Amino acid sequence: MTMTKTTDKPLHHQRMLVGISGGIAAYKGAELVRLLKQAGAEVRVVMTDAAKAFITPMTLQALSGHPVHDSLWDLQAEAAMGHIELAKWADHVIVAPATADILAKFAHGLADDLLSTLILATTASIWVAPAMNQQMWQAQATQANVMLLKQRGVHVIEPAEGEQACGDVGPGRLPEPAAIVAALTQRKPTTLFNGRHVVITAGPTQEALDPVRFITNHSSGKMGYALASAAQAMGARVTLISGPTALCAPAGVHCIRVDTAEAMLAACLQAMPCHVFIAAAAVADYRPAHKGTQKLPKQGQSWSLDLVPNPDILASICRLPQKPYCVGFAAQTEDLLEKAREKLNNKGADVIIANLVGPNLGFQVDENQVTLVKAHEVEALPMMSKIKLASVILEKIAKDAT
Asked whether residue 230 falls in the same domain as residue 345, the answer is: yes
303 within a domain of the structure (yes/no): no
Q: Does residue 96 lie within any of the structural domains?
A: yes
Which of these three, 185, 210, 237, is where a domain ends?
185
Question: Nearest 10 degrees: CA dihedral of 36, 40, 41, 45?
Answer: 50
Say which CATH number the domain at 380 has: 3.40.50.10300
Please tell me the total count of domains within the chain: 2
Instruction: Tell whether 166 and 212 lie within a shared domain.
Output: no
- CATH number, domain of 66, equals 3.40.50.1950
Q: Is 108 exposed, middle or buried (0-12, 13-18, 19+ CB in 10 A)?
A: exposed
CB 289 within 8 A of CB 262: no
The confidence score (pLDDT) of residue 78 equals 45
pLDDT < 70 stretches in the chain: 1-8, 73-83, 186-190, 251, 358-366, 402
3-state secondary structure of 40: coil
pLDDT tens sequence across 223-246: 998 899 888 878 899 999 999 998
209 and 141 both lie in a single domain = no
Would 190 be classed as within a structural domain? no
Assess whether 229 and 97 both reside in one domain.
no
Same domain, 234 and 139: no
Specify whether the CB–CB gap between 230 and 186 falls below 8 A: yes
Residue 362: the pLDDT is: 54
Same domain, 150 and 87: yes
- How many residues make up the chain in this entry? 402
Q: What is the residue range of 208's domain?
A: 197-287+309-400
Quote the pLDDT of residue 237. 92
3-state SS string for 291-349: CCCCCCCCCCCCCCCCEEECCCHHHHHHCCCCCCEEEEEEEECCCHHHHHHHHHHHHCC
Q: Which amino acid is at 253?
A: V
Query: What is the model's pLDDT at position 9?
Result: 72
What confidence score (pLDDT) does residue 336 get? 84
Q: How far apart are the first and last CA of the chain?
A: 32
CB 72 within 8 Å of CB 83: yes
Q: Please report whether residue 78 resides in a domain.
A: yes
Q: Do 143 and 226 share a domain, yes or no?
A: no
Which residue, 109, 124, 171, 108, is CA-closest to 19? 124
Statement to judge: residues 318 and 173 lie in one domain = no
Residues 6 or more apart in contact with residue 143 via CB below 8 angstroms: none
110 assigned to some structural domain: yes
Q: Indicate the helix (H) or strand (E) that contains 175.
A: none
CA distance 111 to 122: 13
Asked if residues 343 and 349 have their Cβ atoms less than 8 Å apart, the reply is yes
Which of 142, 159, 185 represents a domain boundary (last residue)? Answer: 185
Indicate whether 264 and 390 sit together in one domain.
yes
Question: Do 202 and 347 fall within a single domain?
Answer: yes
CA distance 104 to 145: 6
Look up the pTM and report it.
0.63
Does any domain span residue 82? yes
Q: Are 357 and 332 in contact (CB under 8 A)?
A: yes
Final residue of a structural domain among 185, 213, 239: 185
User: Looking at 166, 255, 274, 318, which residue is catalytic?
Assistant: 166
CA nearest to 236, candidates 194, 267, 201: 194
Instruction: Give the model's pLDDT for residue 301.
Output: 72
What pLDDT, on the 0 to 100 scale, is given for residue 6?
41
The reply to whether 248 belongs to the active site is no
Same domain, 249 and 160: no
Residues 6+ apart with CB under 8 A from 259: 205, 206, 208, 243, 244
φ and ψ at residue 283, rounded to 5 degrees? -85, 135
